[in-house]
Amino acid sequence: MTHMKITKILAALFLTSALSACTYDREGPPEYHYQEFKTRAPTDHTVFVCHAYGCKMQTPVKFGSEQMAEIAALMKKIKKADTPFEERRAIAYAVAWAETYAGKITGTSADHAGMEFTGSGDPTQQDCVDEATNTTSYMLMLEKAGLLKHHTVGRPFSKGNVLVGGVSQWPHWTAVLYENETKKKWAVDSWIYANGINPAVIEADKWYIKDLDNLPKSQS
């Protein structure tokens, strides 16, 4: 892994520590997350895209009938079977598509993987709070459009405990899906990768940046 990549991740882990001093498994609906970070939930296919770190900037991006039709067609193409696993794959591709579309409008198409030390306040860059919020908004948009059968969108949460010490314990935020039948919780993490790359989709109990050389893989 390059020195630049390590620097970005260390910066991210340091900056997000300001948001949380211990592990937070958030309860309640996704709307509570928007209230917590003083941003807006998606309405009428408009997503208020967070950027510049910690949702400092929020730019409305409308997903019209044409965009929603493209997303629905993409999800249908990706799903090879009517199973929760295949739906999660389709959701990952849909989130990446939505992120690419929004990136062209907001300028976050230039967002780098992880974070930059100088990224706070930069409208082209996003931290894990931005990414978790936006991913949640995209998934809520899919849910409201009737494109989710096996999952329900949950409230983002952070994991880690800065009081323990060590890089592997810095708090980090992710979006959440609940599998309807099993109630299993899944982390949907877009922060690790550059704009428009499929997020990682991992069982929440197993999700975290354990070390810099073994990052969760993008959902293929």
Q: Does some domain include residue 153?
A: yes
Q: Does some domain include residue 41?
A: yes
What's the rounded mean pLDDT across residues 184-197?
A: 93
Q: Does some domain include residue 3?
A: no
pLDDT at residue number 100: 98
Q: Does some domain include residue 88?
A: yes
CB 127 within 8 A of CB 12: yes
Is the pTM higher than 0.75? The answer reads yes
Q: Does some domain include residue 56?
A: yes
The C-alpha angle with vertex 164 and arms to 27 and 128, in degrees rounded to 5, equals 50
Q: Does some domain include residue 25?
A: yes
pLDDT top residue among 178 and 25: 178
Q: Does some domain include residue 8?
A: no
Number of domains in the chain: 1
Range of the domain at 154: 19-203
Number of C-beta neighbours around residue 144 at 10 A: 14
Q: Does some domain include residue 49?
A: yes
pLDDT at residue number 183: 96
pLDDT at residue number 210: 61
pLDDT top residue among 70 and 193: 70
